[in-house]
Amino acid sequence: METDILWSLAYGAVAIEAIVNIIRNIQEKETCWKYWSALGLSLVLGVLVAYTYDIDLFKLVGLEARLPLVGGILTGLIMSRGANIVSDIVGRLNAWKPNG
């Protein structure tokens, strides 16, 4: 039970970090159209891939959202940050995992 709560907190923190970093990057690069187009494309592709392949990180660890769209959108946002961030997150979660 305690492990489930910790995993819930970890996944929630990952999603919030992804959202905050996206917002922070938008604020820092307000006038750069190249950045905006790249950011928009990565966000759209991340969410599209998550839904197309039914990838929901939260559902994988047993967390069901009250709104079914939320898990896919948050997963897409995390994926849109790129392979490096996803690799770092998976590595940290595996290192943190009990008996892992």
For residues 4 and 55, give the distance between their C-alpha atoms in angstroms, rounded to a whole number.
20
Per-residue tokens: 100:
């892992």
Averaged pLDDT score across all residues of the chain = 75
Return the domain boundaries, the chain. 2-96
Q: Which residues of the chain have pLDDT under 70?
A: 1-9, 11, 27-36, 83-87, 89-90, 93, 96-100
Q: What is the pLDDT of residues 53-66, one digit of tens each?
A: 888 888 877 778 88
Q: Is the pTM of the predicted complex or chain greater than 0.85? A: no
The C-alpha atoms of residue 22 and residue 81 are separated, in whole angstroms, by: 8
